[in-house]
Amino acid sequence: MLPLFADPAAPSLPLHLVPEAGADGFFAARAPAEQAWRKAAGFTGGLGQLVLFPGADGSPTGAAFGLGTPQARQRGRFHLAEAAARLPEGDWHLAGDLGADEANEAALAWLLAGYRFDRYKTVRRPKARLKPPAGCDAARLRAIAGGEFLTRDLINTPAADMGPEELEGAARALAEEFGAGIETVTGEALLERNFPMIHAVGRASPRAPRLLDLRWGDRGPALTLVGKGVCFDTGGLNIKTGTLMGLMKKDMGGAATVLGLARMIMDLKLPLRLRVLIPAVENVISGNALKPKDILTSRKGLTVEVNDTDAEGRLVLADALALADEERPDLMISMATLTGAARTAVGPDLAPFYCDDEGFAAALAQAGGRVADPVWRMPFWTPYEAVIEPDIADLDNAPGFGFAGSITAALFLRRFVTESPRYAHFDIYGWQPTAAPGRPRGGVGQGARAVLEALPGVLGL
């Protein structure tokens, strides 16, 4: 289901956004009946409070939503999603003047509040509809929410129904919708086409590994997105415990996020040449599974000692990055649910990214703040390069350093991007552990809106 706004021409009820400090003043100018109802409801303007204004016949004539204090609002985002979920059915509009950034966040919050994962269960959706607020770009927000809904659906689908073949199907459906081309290299053809590490990670599964290669657009700068598509990760022979394995359907969150971002880009018809590369595999166990201490030769020619079969994401990404690098795109971005170290460092809410280009890094950070998509720059710390260099091969996929696991993983990936002028890597979580406004528990996109917002300035669109 794609997100929609209410018809701008339809009759609608006003929704007033009332900060805590302005609640008394707001109600002093309201009708006595509304003042009495406010008192009865205990409405103080606290963040998330909602009060309806009843008419003479008992039907609502409007509502007020509490914005709380600035300090309270800083502790979250998409607060208006709570109103969208709780208001009665009908068309609503935001009363009063909002700045452009405030209007866009409020409207996006409303759209995101409409998301429900309903593949396996009948769910109830919010029935209140919002007119696009003045100052917001309704078409852009619909495209953004549509991309986010795709990302969430892909992550939320269990591995039984979202293996490499099904992920390919989702990419093909997206390509067909927007007139993109797509090529797939599958199974033993990966060896013939020189993608040995994608093959090595995925060969143990009866669901054949593959590399998805989607292209769209024929003008403008070149942007390549690379997403980790490990559809389920047991850890391989370095098998995970049951607790750690429980969420591994989301290990294709990088692939889901780049597909969601690609959907936004194509829906908005950005003037660029887009390429999306997804190594889609399952990391499981059988007699031919990848073994600890195996040494692989990558597409780029670098040899890799496999010291942990549970550090498989960087292996499949490396072959895809090497392919992307051969074309020298103007900008390359990889996204992956890569390391637990990133979660330890910044938790589930922040999307850490690595980038050597100061201009792009600054643009990303600023863009994330504007569109309520928080990102945090981490260092490609070159002095740690020696940590990923074992005695027996060029690279080590899981050095026993004991520190900086996200950094050393990012440094590993950077070794495969040597020709392209700008590269950024996102080590995302892709999961909302507890429900929050506009973000139910489950799969969630991270970093995509920040990238989309930064692209025009960075690529000169």
Rounded to whole angstroms, how far apart are CA atoms 436 and 430?
Answer: 14
Domain ranges of the chain: 13-134, 142-459
CA angle 273, 154, 138 (to 5 degrees): 60
DSSP element (H, E) containing 92? strand 90-95
1, pLDDT greater than 70: no
Tell me if residue 124 is catalytic.
no
Rounded to whole angstroms, how far apart are CA atoms 86 and 109?
Answer: 13
Question: Tens digit of pLDDT for each residue in 255-298?
Answer: 999 999 999 999 999 999 999 999 999 999 999 999 999 999 99
Identify whether the C-beta of residue 44 lies closer than 8 Å to the C-beta of residue 57: no
Identify whether the C-beta of residue 298 lies closer than 8 Å to the C-beta of residue 196: yes
Catalytic residue among 249, 314, 439, 449: 314
2, pLDDT greater than 80: no
pLDDT at 294: 98
Catalytic residue among 86, 116, 240, 273: 240
Domain 142-459 carries which CATH code?
3.40.630.10
Copy the structure tokens of residue 264.
């936004």
Identify whether the C-beta of residue 343 lies closer than 8 Å to the C-beta of residue 406: no
Burial of 29 (0-12, 13-18, 19+ CB in 10 A): exposed
Tell me if residue 314 is catalytic.
yes
Confidence band of 100 (pLDDT split at 50, 70, 90): confident
Question: Tens digit of pLDDT for each residue in 197-253?
Answer: 999 999 999 999 999 999 999 999 999 999 999 999 999 999 999 999 999 999 999
Question: Tens digit of pLDDT for each residue in 293-347?
Answer: 999 999 999 999 999 999 999 999 999 999 999 999 999 999 999 999 999 999 9
Domain 13-134 carries which CATH code?
3.40.220.10
Rounded to whole angstroms, how far apart are CA atoms 210 and 281?
Answer: 7
